[in-house]
Amino acid sequence: MDRVRLAPVGLGRWARVLARAAQRGDIIELTSCFSRSEEKRAAFQAEFDVPRAAARYEELLADPEIEGILITTPNDTHLPLIAQAAAAGKAVYVDKPIAHSLEDAVAIADAVSQAGVVFSVGHSARRLSGHRMMKRWIDDGRMGDISLAEANFSNERGLELTPETWRWYAAKSPGGAFIQLGVHHADTLQYLLGPIRSVTAHARKLYTKSEVPDAVMAILEFESGPLAYLGTGWASPGVYRMNLLGTKANLMYDLDFTRWSESHLADEYSSLHAQAYGEIERREVELPATDMFREQLEEFALAIGGSGRVEVGAADAIRALAVVRAALESSDRGGLAVDLGEVIEQAGAGSVTGSR
């Protein structure tokens, strides 16, 4: 099969993480790239043996060989870049979150739908082996009925922010740790347990000097009945974990966050333990190796070629982002519950997500 020709846009740290993932397989060819910085373009080309680079975004989109683009730019730039690419007939992969606001997310969904292009959002965490195994246990009944979930994704980023970084600003990264980290769990929990009905939350800015909170705690009520705690922070060493509590068994998942960017190795540094009803001991569950970044990029590439489908598109990405919006609104209201369907409807996203 001919390789699918893709071009990264925004050539920072995360573009390099994804480029390494793409080059671990034999489906994708990185044909070109774009950044406004000539220095970054040259460095990226040299590191990944990319044959050419575009000096202007319009030049990249006019390249007939490019079948799709990989966007890893700041959240608030996603809409114009995606809309322009879709209008040019290019498939688009964008790293999570889909946008910095629900309104931009809806405009993105409209743009890719009207253009009829393949569109994928990088909610990679649901692909981790531990979460895939959790889904298997839920679906085959080994867990029984889920009553509670506990999830936390935190790191030290808030302590490192400066006014020169876009994540410093509330207008660009509303919710801070929640929109950057917690949104992963917001997607994965809905993948596992179905749609969220309401969100109750408190957000605090404790130790960061930036404009965004570094501690957020949310209680999620699911339409199917269970409750979940979702915590996320930007003022501690990295944490990534999720526990599911069922009537037949509990599952406890823990991943070494320092291995997050090495997705082909992450499963070697994670663990899933099961505790059956009536038992005290927790036994380790064997996890098959996965490579979440490579898998999602190859899925995107195969969808472009017509031999696959995208797992996370606009609808799921908007539902995850809506949890962020609802959490911030709840915190602003002193912790009152916020209906997720109302948040989605107010943003005009009901037709995209199928809500109400």
CATH number of 4-124+295-310: 3.40.50.720
Q: pTM here?
A: 0.95
Among residues 30, 66, 63, 24, which one has the least CA distance to residue 48?
30
Helical H segments across the chain, by residue range? 13-22, 38-48, 57-61, 78-87, 102-115, 129-139, 157-160, 177, 183-193, 292-304, 314-332, 340-346, 350-353
Q: Which residue has the higher pLDDT, 230 or 351?
A: 230
Domains 4-124+295-310 and 126-292+323-339 are alike in CATH topology: no
Peptide bond before 97: cis, by omega within 30 degrees of 0?
yes
Tell me the percentage of the chain whose pLDDT exceeds 70. Answer: 99
For the chain, the structural domain boundaries read 4-124+295-310, 126-292+323-339
The reported pLDDT for the residue numbered 269 is 94
Structure tokens at 199: 């969100």
Among residues 226, 201, 223, which one has the least CA distance to residue 149?
226
Average of pLDDT values for 23-27?
A: 96
* CATH 3.30.360.10 is right for the domain spanning 126-292+323-339: yes
The three-state secondary structure class of 263 is: coil
The three-state secondary structure class of 311 is: coil
Q: Is there a contact between 181 and 232 (Cβ–Cβ < 8 Å)?
A: yes
Tell me: the pLDDT tens digits for 132-149? Answer: 999 999 999 999 999 999
User: Mean of the per-residue pLDDT values for the chain?
Assistant: 96
Q: What is the distance in angstroms between the CA of the first residue and the CA of the last residue of the chain?
A: 43
pLDDT at 111 over 90: yes
